[in-house]
Structure 1
Amino acid sequence: MTDKISIALKSITKNKNRNFLTMLGIIIGIASVICILAIGDGFTHTVTKGMGSHNVKNKVTLQWESKSVYDTDGGFTKNDASALSSVKGIDHVKLASSVVEAGAKVQYKTKNVSIGLNKQPKHLKLVKGTYLPLDGDSSGVYISEYLAHKLFKKNALNRLITIDGTVFVVQGIYRVGTMDYRPDAYVSKTTFKQLFANQISKDQAKLYVTSDANKKQVGKRATKLMKKIGEQKKTGTYSVSNPDQISKQFTKILNDITYFIAFIAGISLLIAGIGVMNVMYITVSERRKEIGIRRAFGATSGDIRNQFLIESVVLCIIGGIIGIIFGYIFVSIINTFLPFKAVITPYAIILSLAVSTAVGLIFGFIPSNKAAKSELVGLLKEE
């Protein structure tokens, strides 16, 4: 096998220009597939990361949903949590909210804007101002560029604004990226808890189950109980929520779209394959003397077929490797313009090499088979 690969490489280097032009289609096709898969995988990773991951190993999430789009203030109460704790298989219950930010009204002079507001994060990159922790019941607030533009014509730093009747001082302005989501303002954790946390309803009950319990059965029993005695049963409905399943389905849809687009781009490899077949036909025609000599010295049809087939595969694999290298370069350039990071996965590289090999095998077989079936008598007559 090593000898055959060595012969194949020598044959390819004899006609560098012709073989490079043949590989060009493979290079472009593989580079395109690498770029598309990298962009798709990067986008999927960014979106699913934003959706968050959920540890559901020993937890069942019960969701309350309002029957009316105009009334969303209901949810689970402390009495509901106490009742759920008594359900067989449940160790303890924690109430939470699917909405992590509060709604508020901001006023500056005669301007009024409705915003989403949350407690200060650990890290926040500012475009103006200095980022410092807002301790205790601080009156400081960080606002987005969008809100600053809505309220102020010029510099917004150190200006006084009113949020739901409470006066705050603008300490900094942050930018919201294209692929990011942030509320319009951040206040200290203490201030958020004192003034705004009561606006967020507890529409989720996280049921932590015992190790010997069946989560599916626990979810059914808890849902049945809430439908019977839940304090908000008249204004809403109860159901078991599976956020990880939704995330997996969404990821699958994004991956399917990426693979479909990559398949469309990969059609160019068919054209490249035809070019490979053409150059292999020319190679076979040029080397009929070599084929005749090898046959005269005892080479079988299988030996001849394998030699030319290996040559076709090696040609395509070299093109595939160069295509992967160019794909890396193009992805690095593209990442400077994308709002997220395109990621080249090992799967994309393996797929590219597999496709390159397949193109060499499929489109190199017919010319190789023609060389193998050449009659020794006919070859000698030509000489």
Structure 2
Amino acid sequence: MLDKVMIALKSIGKNKNRNFLTMLGIIIGITSVICILAIGDGFTKVETKGLQDHNTKNRVTLSFTPSSDDDTTSGFTRNDLSVLEGITGVDHVKLTSVNPEASVTVQHQAKKSSAGLNKVPKKLKLSEGFGTTLNTNDTSDIFISKDLADKVFKGKALNKRLVINDNVFVVSGIYKIGDFSYRPDIYVSKTTFKQLFASQISQDEAKIYVKSSASKKRVSKSALNEMKKFGEDAKLGKYGVSHVDQITKSFTKTLNNITYFVAFVAGISLLIAGIGVMNVMYITVSERRKEIGIRRAFGATSGDIRNQFLIESIILCVIGGLIGIALGYSLVSIINHFLPFKAVVTAYAIVMSLSVSTAVGLIFGFIPSNKAAKSSLVGLLKEE
């Protein structure tokens, strides 16, 4: 076997330029697949990270969906909280909102618009203005997005007044929203949010933390039954159990399927490369008919001839695949300097690329190799 590999490498080395051009299609195809899979895996990792929570292992999430789309106040109440905390096996319960931002109406002079509003994070990078956050005492200062500033103020919004739900505020900072991130258009201080806007947000999610000794499944079933019976807003909507782990897996699977489909489309170039490999192997077989005849005369079987050319075809494609992987890895390192997330080259992508390269060499090299194996000794000697 080693002798056949060495003969194949020697044969490939004799026609370096021709074989490199043949490998070029493999190199481009594998490089494309590596880059697409790396970007897809990196994006999937970033997006699913936001869905994951270190506390989900011992947590059940109960959700409330109002019957009417216009209902923005129904959900879980303080009485509901007491009922849930009284269930056997529950450690504590926290009421939250799926969408923890208020929908408000903003106005500057005669121009009105709608926007999302939330309390300011601990640190926020501003493109205009000073500071990184708003103090609790800053009840009149706000930060707004560059998009809202362009929409309402035509860009020049710093230190100007903005009316939000009939309350006057002053724009003290402007921030930009990235392409791969989400932020509301307005940030206010935590005190202002609590005093003026928190009441507009319904508590439509109950995070139930389960004791380590209790069954998560049993607690979730009991909580759902209790809310259906005693929930104050039970007649205004429906309660349901949200399985975060299942949502994360489903979301990850969808993103991976999209990535694999795009990679498959990019990998179509390998089909064209395979045709090039078949063509060059036909030429190689034609050029080496004398060698085939001599080997057959010295006792080489049809299987030996077939395997020799098949190994040569596979090695040609594997070398192209290895170069494509190296080039793809280098290209991903360059791309990472321009992406808002880190593209990741996984072991799966490398193994798949090598497998595809080997398969291309095996499939498209079989017919020329089989032709060489079936060449009759008499016909080969007559040619000489």
TM-score (norm. length: structure 1): 0.89
Instruction: Tell me: CA distance 1:190–1:320, structure 2 relative to 1, closer, same or farther (3 Å).
Output: same
Q: 1:206 to 1:382 in 2, by over 3 A?
A: same
Q: Aligned in 2, Cα 1:135/1:333: closer, same or farther, shift over 3 Å?
A: same
Q: Deviations over 1:101-123 (max 9, x none)?
A: 12233333333332211122233
Separation of aligned partners in 1, 2:13 and 2:22: 13
Identify which range, 209-218 or 60-69, moves more after superposition: 209-218
Q: Equivalent residue of 1:57, what SS? A: helix
Deviation per CA, 1:220-256, whole angstroms, max 9, x where unpaired?
2111111111111111211111233223223222322
Match of 1:141?
142
> Mapping of 1:1-383 within 5 angstroms?
1-51=1-51, 53=53, 55-138=55-138, 139-153=140-154, 155-328=156-329, 331=332, 342-376=343-377, 378-383=379-384
**C-alpha separation in 2, matches of 1:294 and 1:59:** 72
What is the alpha-carbon distance in structure 2 between the residues aligned to residue 123 and residue 94 of structure 1? 25
Q: How many residues align?
A: 383
User: Are the equivalent residues in 1 in contact too, given 2:62–2:224 (CA < 8 A)?
Assistant: yes
Q: Assess, with a 3 A threshold, how the Cα gap between structure 1 residues 61 and 54 changes in structure 2: closer, same or farther.
A: farther
2:76 match: secondary structure: coil
Which digits, 9 at most, give the CA deviation of each residue in 1:271-304, with x for residues without a partner? 3222212211221222233233344455444443
Kept in 1, the 8 Å contact 2:34–2:349? The answer is yes
Residues in 2 aligned to 1:154 and 1:47: alpha-carbon distance in whole angstroms? 31
Is the 1:53–1:244 Cα contact (8 Å) retained in structure 2?
Answer: no
| Equivalent position SS for 2:235 | coil
Q: Aligned partners of 1:293 and 1:230: how far apart in 2? A: 90
Is the 1:96–1:203 Cα contact (8 Å) retained in structure 2?
yes
Tell me by how many angstroms 1:154 deviates: 5.1
1 CA distance for matches of 2:383 and 2:44? 60
Look up the SS of the partner of 1:237 in the other structure: strand
Q: After the TM superposition, which of the residue ranges 42-51 and 172-181 deviates more from structure 2? A: 42-51
Inter-partner Cα distance in structure 2 for 1:32 and 1:265: 6
Shift of 1:339: 6.6
Instruction: Please state how far the C-alpha of 1:340 moved relative to its aligned partner.
Output: 5.8
SS in 2 for 1:181: coil
Q: How far, CA to CA, are the matches of 2:151 and 2:273 in structure 1?
A: 55
- TM-superposed deviation, 1:142: 0.9
Aligned partner of residue 196 in structure 1, secondary structure: helix
Query: Contact (CA 8 Å) 2:36, 2:263: kept in 1 or not?
Result: yes
The separation in 1 between residues aligned to 2:301 and 2:288, in whole angstroms, is 16
Secondary structure of 1:254 counterpart:
helix
- CA contact 2:96–2:207 (8 Å) conserved in 1: yes
Contact 2:124 2:133 (C-alpha < 8 Å) held by counterparts:
no
Cα distance between partner residues in 2 of 1:346 and 1:110: 58
Bigger shift: 261-270 or 33-42? 33-42
Q: Distance in 2 between matches of 1:131 and 1:356?
A: 54
Counterparts of 1:372 and 1:102 in 2: how far apart (Å)? 76
Checking the alignment, whether the CA contact within 8 Å between 1:136 and 1:188 is kept in structure 2 is: yes
Q: Which moved more, 1:166-175 or 1:347-356?
A: 166-175
Write the distance in 2 (CA, Å) between the matches of 1:4 and 1:135.
75
Secondary structure of 1:93's counterpart equals: strand
The one-character-per-residue Cα deviations of 1:291-334 (angstroms, maximum 9, x if unpaired) are 33344455444443332222111110122223334434655676
Partners of 1:330 and 1:133 in 2: CA distance: 38
Compared CA separation, residues 338 and 30, structure 1 to 2 (3 A): same
CA contact (8 A) 2:60 2:209 kept: yes
In the aligned structure 1, how far is the partner of 2:154 from the partner of 2:206? Answer: 44
Moved more, 205-214 or 299-308: 299-308
3-state SS of paired residue (1:122): coil
1:333 and 1:262 map into 2 onto residues whose CA distance is 19
Q: What amino acid sits opposite 1:98 in the alignment?
A: V
Matched residue SS, 1:124: coil
Higher mean C-alpha deviation, range 311-320 or range 367-376: 367-376
CA distance in structure 1 between the aligned counterparts of 2:255 and 2:159, rounded to whole angstroms: 44
Q: Is the 8 A contact 2:124 2:132 kept in 1?
A: no
Distance 1:109 1:379 in 2: 94
Letter of the aligned partner of 2:231 in structure 1?
A: G
Deviations 1:350-378 (A, max 9, x none): 21111001111112223223334444455
TM-score scaled by length of structure 2: 0.89
- 284 and 275 in structure 1: CA distance in 2 versus 1, 3 angstrom threshold: same
